[in-house]
A and B are shown apart, each in its own frame.
Chain A
Amino acid sequence: MPRKVTYTVGRAGGPTREITVDVHDLDVDPWGADAELRVVGTDVPRLEASQKTTGAARYTYDVNRPNMALCRLLRSPHAHATVRSVDTSRAERLRGVLGVNVLVPAGGRITFAGKGVVAVCAENEETLDDALHAIDVSYDVTGGPVTTDDGRAPGAERVDPKRDNVNAGGRRGRQERGDPQAAMAAAATKVSATFRTQVQTHSALETHGCVVEHHDDGTYTVWASTQGTNAFRGSMAQTLGVPADRVRVITEHMGGGFGAKLGAIDEWDRAAAFFARDLMRPVKAMLLRRAEHQVAGCRPDSIQELSMACDGDGKITALSGTTHGTAGNGRGGAGAANTRIYRIPNLAMEQVTVSTFTGRARAFRAPGHPQGVFALEGIVDALAIAAGIDPLEFRLRNDPHPLRQVQWRLGAERMEWDRKRREFPGTGAVRRGVCCAAAVWRQKGGGDYVVNLEIRSDGSVTVKNAVQDIGTGTRTVLAVLVAEELGIAPEQVTVRIGDTQYPAGPSSGGSTTAPSIGPAAREAGHHARLRMAELLAEDWSCKPGEVRLDGVRFAGPGGKSATWGEACSLIDKSGLSVSGQRRKNYGGFSGETAGCQFAQVAVDTETGVIRVERVVAVHDAGRIVDTLTARSQVVGGVIQGISYALHEDRQLDRNLGDMVNPTFDTYRILGIGDTPRIDCLLTTLDSGFNNAGMMGLGEPVTVPTAGAVANAVSHAIGVRMTEIPITPARVLAALGGVR
């Protein structure tokens, strides 16, 4: 029987509200806004830090197995072509080549540059290189559009011969409410602009790939650089035609994914699996950097034509427009989230996906949001200025989120908004600007994941689940939650994760990992504590209910007391084993996490070079379990956002369709020398969705950065920046337009 619990959710000191929830009879009572906790909400260094800083941590790329072979694909250099012939005979004759498998035979059609045509398996890197060079593939090259503009042009070559490249309309692509036309006509102020964003590649340092080992008993062990051990296992088992329990997937450490490593296995994984199966040898297939940029995912571009209106009180009345974008040779997924955050009573927005002959986009840290919010915040900023209202004041008038109302003020104070808006841009060659943008995200997590917890008489505590830690600190979060319940230090907890031999865990997507698995860890810790109380009660001849945890010691009637070690000595040889489960979400405080960022930039008007000098980032993710790794997420989101705003840009050869900058020296990501001072303000609260009050943080923190930076540049130079990346050339062009 669930029990009713009434408690306060939200932020201690406001805003808060009371909710009544049904708590599962096995679950622990939720903490609530006023909970005073011992280790939750403090700085806890990540558990695996010393493994990672010493090189001891083994990533998939680092797995060396006895007698291991290597696999790589020969890729099409053409975006749109038909394979005329494939001659692998010279490669097959090379010493050290173990297998050659044609993926696209003669007559097969290619729809993006980088498509694997032949898979090769060889003894070592050098032989692999030689073999790939020794394969002759001839193509009938057709050509075709690779950019959104070219793809939607009349008469453009079709990616899918049966469909137009422009898949406009459909219910999913259209949002409508109220009467935007009438609202526009009646508006006190109205602005229109077209915003453009580029294609961004994920650029994780560890490329995609796996190592597959086929055992004599027909089972497989697969080391994979994946954001979802269980999803990867299911997909791999299906490919191999074996039950999922014959495949064990291990992801002990993962070198970055940002969304690109979610879901099903890829063609290089399949190639490695087939070679491993047939050769009975471990096979490693890791992408080279070039292929990683070319084919392993990207954030779609966007062209967002927007109009926005407000009334005489500075209240937004309408937003209308159309968004075009390409997610590559697929048919969907190129939308921009440009209609959220602010109260918009009248809305008409159409999202159009354009198919092009390019590699398919993949989920990328807050899909649709950095580009959508860049445009939304750009038009909001323009409207505020046109209406003669301070841009921050304008946002406060139109933002319905109670917590973001608090955050805007916190951030403004830290950034010294009033003074800087008054004093900037200043005079002289270098002009300064300061502005802001909002973050939004709404994932609460869920599922019914189980966490196992074992305690031994030596005091050791082990947490087990298949969930992977993609660098966000999942391992540490689980340890902190268990430690809180047991009165011990997080470093006393061993967390075994990233292995499908443990209970299934969530994929790391949508910022749902921590809130999906954390509450199960807390419940497991709670059950362990109850069992410890039973053991002590027996020893002390009292009732379990009389044993309480007093900080880091167990205490009982008559001054009885036991340290963690003393209590654990009562555990028998078989150890103590309990589990906790993720229960259904409660009503919650707000379904949307809130955040906002303020950016200060200096723009050299003679060279066009922009320097981001400071960012103030204010974010909520429900209760922050580990403030140290949480700040890392925020700082990382800001840095990626600046990189997106100023530098990153996938360049394609419009003639041949291949990426011309698939390397880190030509595809620029932000370096340490361009890192501004970043103030990170975490407005922690109890989300009211689960026993720990958690939500996710990884994605919202990168949502507003590009918008804030672009608006700050606009403030500095007095011209609305409508296209990212804001390169020096674009700054000079914008200035040229007003000179």
Chain B
Amino acid sequence: MADKKVGGAGGVTRRALLKGAGAAGAAAALAGSVEALAQETDGGGAGGAVAGPGPVRMTLSVNGKARKIVAPPRRTLLDVLRSDLDLTGAKKACDRGTCGACTIWLDGKPVYACMVLAIEAIGHEITTIEGLGTPDALHPVQAAFGKHDALQCGFCTPGFVMTTAWAVEKHGKRLDRQLVMAETSGNLCRCGTYSHVIAAALDAAGAAADAAPDEREGR
């Protein structure tokens, strides 16, 4: 077991360091054995065996590929995507279904990945921002976000793009300012990019731009 002195301000004793290294090694070995023992789960619950509480094996369909992972059944889809699959486009910002920075598509519809357990996503098609487009092959909404500078720090951006891409697909040219506001109201941005998000969404949808000139240079 780890020694209390590990991580202390005064530095670690040699004895503690050895113990710490031992603990890390043991934990790694343990993780391996758990993986070997874990049963493949279909999500558990109603009618079936209860999954967990230890790590379980599951297969998720992410961006069109079957991905096998071993994780505790209480792990959220967001944590599985970010930590187990290293798909870090979906961000963890509020971790309680408020800000939308973790928005992904489940069967083509936007959901907060922090509010879904990974085991609940078994059997569903998961699309993350990485599956929407890449820097070399941008989705039209991604291109429009760049063109209109609908991003600043960019931490909310993948979530906003996922929601907006869905709204553009749903409404097409009928998309207007009010609809963009309504459809993306589940996403928060702290830098204040909203005006530019609206412009980008309308542009990507091929909809009429705002009647009023939002921004013009002063003379």
Contacts and interface: CB of A to CB of B under 8 A. Distances in A.
A669 interface: yes
Interface string A190-214: 0000000000000111110000000
B126 interface: no
B155 A206 contact: yes
Interface string B1-19: 1111111110110001100
A680 B197 CA distance: 16
B145 A673 contact: no
B196 A56 contact: no
B155 A256 contact: yes
Nearest to B154: A52
A96 B27 contact: yes
Given A126-B72, A205-B101, A98 B11 contact: no
B23 interface: yes
B135 A50 contact: yes
B94 A663 contact: yes
B96 interface: yes
The A contact surface, by secondary structure, is mixed
B4 A635 contact: no
A275 B23 CA distance: 13
B149 A410 contact: no
Interface in A205-246: 205-207, 241
A46 B151 contact: yes
Interface in B112-141: 128-130, 132-135, 138, 141
Interface residues of B, number: 91
Interface-central residue, A124, A472, A618, by most chain B CB under 10 Å: A124
A680 B6 contact: no
The B contact surface, by secondary structure, is loop
A678 B191 contact: no
Nearest to B142: A53
A278 B153 contact: no
A677 B6 contact: no
A471 B1 contact: no
B58 interface: no
Interface in B92-111: 92-96, 98-99, 101
B39 interface: no
Contacts of A678: 195, 214-215
B153 A271 contact: no
A360 interface: no
B188 A663 contact: no
A206 B161 CA distance: 17
Interface of A: 13, 45-46, 48-59, 61-62, 64, 67, 69, 71, 88, 92-93, 95-102, 119, 121, 123-126, 203-207, 241, 253-256, 258, 270-271, 274-275, 277-281, 286, 288-289, 407, 410, 470-473, 618, 627-629, 631-633, 635-640, 663-665, 669-673, 675, 677-684
5 contacts: A52-B158, A121-B7, A204-B190, A278-B7, A669-B190
Given A55-B158, A58-B88, A289-B95, 5 more contacts: A99-B7, A121-B2, A255-B153, A635-B193, A682-B218
